[in-house]
Amino acid sequence: MNNATHPQCPVQDNTDKRKSAAIAIENTRPDAGAHWVKKPGLARKILRSTASRQAGASADLVKFDNPEHAPVFFLDGPDHFNKRRKTQRFLSPKAISDQHHVIMNKVTDALLRQFKKQGKAKLEDLSFSLAIEVVGEILGLTNSDQAGRARRIQKVLAASIARSGSSPFSRTMLNLARAYRTGIFFLADVRPAIKARKTNPREDAISVYLAEGYSYIAIVIECLTYGTAGMLTTREFIVMAAWYLFEDESLRERFLSEDVNGQLAVLMEILRLEPVAAMIHRRMYEEVEGLEDTPLPSGEKYGIDIRAANVDEDLAGECPYAVDPDRAKRQQDLGRYLSFGDGPHTCPGWQVALHETRIFLDQLFRVPGITLEREPDISWNAQLGSYELRNADISCEPSA
């Protein structure tokens, strides 16, 4: 951690207070054989290059005979472009304001009503319920009972990202567990959604997949991809952003008094310092200059260190460790930095994630007596390469 206050930052406190810094330093490494890219300029160049290929989760080693059965994350080139295009319209700012705002507000209201009744909750449970419902609505997973669906999604996502031990027995057991959980999820949640949309298509991803003639297995794969990418990440980010707002009264007051764009600026600045995805990988099919004295040959793999790039002065400007919601505006930047990746694989759900977080936290911090009773425990999810925040106990004045 950088505990020194930066000499050029007389106004801003440039002390490194990132909550996930210590655990991330301990755990973030490029995959074996990959080069470590920390500078933002080179990171962006690689991510945006037409010669780069997805190499996270060993995507560069897996071959799919049928691109329809490959999660969007695993594809590149025209197959990737075509698959992304199918869901793009459900994730656009227009879809968010016309359609998803309704579900974001509705779920937030329901969760906070229950919280106020009980007077206490675990924040990560609330954030996960919200993330499941919002991404579920975008996909079209809306034809099963909500509580059971949340339970099943939690279990199937846990099984799908779990790593087995090295023995054949452990691998077999994990594969069985995955097949079992996926089967249950399909029967209880995906199949009813498909059945309903066959007769009555709606404005959601499953309706589009059906119109495109996707097989049932391809639909389940997309649901699991969006679940992992959109539910597990947002769950953590909401708790992290809330932790900052609980701790810093002036930041909280600012957040509550800002308009939509001002609130998004606060959230993106927190995410810059505490990116949920620590590192992403690419394989480059051209020479890469700028990392070593001589260009690296084509075919090498690179680990892009989002955390390092986001606090590099070349990207963040001066006082990179300060929480400064005006930073992006001053730099005439959108404020995403590298928190949602960059280039063709950049996060398609970034605006969904920010808006649901904004709506939820705006209402949470207006609950009378809202208090963080216990700071969350911070741990590391090696499968996702991300921090996890648990046991964030919150309380409020119980309502009658």
Q: Contact positions toward ligand HEM, by CB under 6 A? A: 54, 56, 72-73, 84, 91, 135, 138, 225-226, 229-230, 233-234, 237, 276-277, 280, 339-341, 345, 347-349, 352-353
Q: Nearest to residue 239, comparing CAs of 142, 340, 377?
A: 377
Q: What phi and psi values does residue 356 have, to the nearest 5 degrees? A: -65, -40
Least Å distance between CB 397 and ligand HEM?
A: 30
Alpha-carbon span 343 to 77, nearest angstrom = 12
Min dist. Cβ of residue 157 to ligand HEM (A): 13
Cβ proximity to ligand HEM, 14 vs 52, nearer residue: 52
Minimum CB separation of residue 340 from ligand HEM in Å reads 5
Q: Give 258's DSSP letter.
A: S
Amino acid code (one letter) for 18: R
Closest to ligand HEM by CB, 328 or 396? 328
Determine the Cα–Cα distance for residues 340 and 39; give it in Å rounded to an integer. Answer: 16
| 268 contact partners, CB below 8 Å, separation of at least 6 | 328, 334, 335, 336, 337, 339, 354
Q: Taking the complex as a whole, how short is the minimal distance between the CB of residue 356 and ligand HEM, in angstroms?
A: 7
Closest C-alpha to 311, from 8, 12, 11, 21: 21
Q: Which is nearer to ligand HEM, 185 or 350 (CB)?
A: 350
Taking each helix axis from N to C terminus, what angle separates 260-273 and 350-364, rounded to the nearest 10 degrees?
110
DSSP assignment of 87-127: HHTTSSHHHIIIIIHHHHHHHHHHHHHHHHHHSEEEHHHHH
CB closer to ligand HEM out of 72 and 150 = 72
Q: Between 14 and 87, name the residue whose CB sits nearer to ligand HEM.
A: 87
The distance in angstroms from the start CA to the end CA of the chain is 46
Q: How far is the CB of 88 from ligand HEM (least distance, A)?
A: 10
From 324, 286, 280, select the one nearest 31 (Cα to Cα).
280
C-alpha–C-alpha distance, residues 118 and 362, integer Å: 20
Q: Which residue is nearest to ligand HEM (CB)?
A: 349
Question: In terms of CB distance, is 320 or 341 closer to ligand HEM?
Answer: 341
- Which residue's CB is nearer to ligand HEM, number 268 or number 396? 268
d(CA 110, CA 112): 6
Q: How far is the CB of 314 from ligand HEM (least distance, A)?
A: 19
Residue 234: CB minimum distance to ligand HEM, A: 4
Residue 14 or 339 with smaller CB distance to ligand HEM: 339
Give the span between the Cα atoms of 20 and 228, in whole angstroms: 20
Contact 164, 185 (CB under 8 A): no
CB of 320 to ligand HEM, least distance (A): 19
When the beta carbons of 14 and 343 are compared against ligand HEM, the nearer one is 343
CA distance 242 to 157: 24
Q: Using the structure block, give the residue that is written with the tokens 């119980």.
A: 398
Residue found by looking up tokens 């705002």 in the block: 101
Q: Least separation, in Å, of the C-beta of 333 and ligand HEM?
A: 17
For ligand HEM, the closer CB: 14 or 263: 263
Three-class secondary structure of residue 372 per DSSP: strand
Shortest Cβ 394–ligand HEM spacing (Å): 20
